[in-house]
Amino acid sequence: MAGPLVRPRRLRTTPALRRMVGETSLEARQLVLPLFVREGLAEPKPISSMPGVVQHTRDSLLKAVAEAADLGLGGVMLFGIPETKDATGSGGIDPAGVLNLAITDVVAEVGDALTVMSDLCLDEFTDHGHCGVLTADGRVDNDRTLAAYAEMARAQAHAGVDMVGPSGMMDGQVAVIRAALDDAEHTDVSILAYSAKYASAFFGPFREAVDSSLEGDRRTYQQDPGNAREGVREALLDVAEGADIVMVKPALAYLDVVQRVRAAVDVPVAAYNISGEYAMVEAAAANGWIDREAAIFETLTSIRRAGADIVLTYWAAEAARLMRAAASR
């Protein structure tokens, strides 16, 4: 019996062959580690819905970023959790607020070895848990929120941040932040725009991670999960307003949006492998249902394959350690 003329399996015969013809790479430099720092903690506090992830003290945060730098990660994304919150999220603007102090700490610790990024949003700092300032009838006031974002951007830049990450999905936020930074002579501070951020069920564990006060939802400003073209439109608007990098969040349920955005823009594209995506893999692995390490790499590779140049993931340090160990064998 005549065999097939074309045999794709030939290129899968050995590890060396598979490596040589591999289409998608995963490297430590492409990974960003999100980190939470909480005001007033005496020791790191585990996040129950995200096994292996903690709310850091200012001291333990420095150990985490030093390791991230040693591992060759691309950067860290900092989130701050204050002891007290108010209606306007003033703790995010206060130079002595936990996030701004953490930025200064981290920059002093790692210098240029890591890109130090910070979340630029009010939700961790507001007592109502929304990403902006509210009107009297409880709606998020877009333009008053933009004024707060401008102040927050200046505060984070003054603290020494390399890159701000506006995540609130307010119309015009990138343009306002870019102008605020430039007017304050922080022209070198770059913007990672959360451009296509969806109102997702997969954010659940993150709410625990930042002690969210949110009641209700964010559907009036985050995107509808069914809308892909809108995600591309938002990314194009952010590029036009001065975004240096655009991001899709979440990643796994929106790989098609990652691919569309990558095709549409000429700046780097990031994707955030979010808390619920992380928690699902960890829970399945804890039950013995999947091979944990293989699932981690398959997940991260899928995000890269869809077109993301940068992946924010809670597995960043672990993945880098595993890749380093594999390379040294």
57 DSSP assignment: P
Q: Is 197 a catalytic residue?
A: yes
Q: Is 63 a catalytic residue?
A: no
Output the CA–CA distances (angstroms, integers) from residue 43 to 46, 66, 315, in the order listed: 10, 18, 21
Spatial CB neighbours of 236, under 8 Å, sequence gap ≥ 6: 264, 265
User: Which helix H or strand E contains 93, and what residues bound it?
Assistant: none
- Catalytic pick from 45, 63, 85, 249? 249
SS3 call for 35 = strand
Among the listed residues 140, 138, 146, 144, the one whose alpha carbon sits nearest the alpha carbon of residue 120 = 146
Identity of residue 50: M
Identify residue 60 by its one-letter amino acid code. S
Element (H, E) at 249: strand 245-249
Find all residues with CB under 8 Å of 182, minimum gap 6, and list them. none
Handedness of CA 208, 209, 213, 219 (dihedral sign): negative
**Strand duo 54-56 + 31-38: pairing:** parallel
Q: What is the DSSP letter of 87?
A: T
For residues 211 and 40, what is the distance between their CA atoms, to the nearest angstrom?
Answer: 14
Q: Which of 45, 63, 85, 197 is catalytic?
A: 197
Name the residues annotated as catalytic: 197, 249
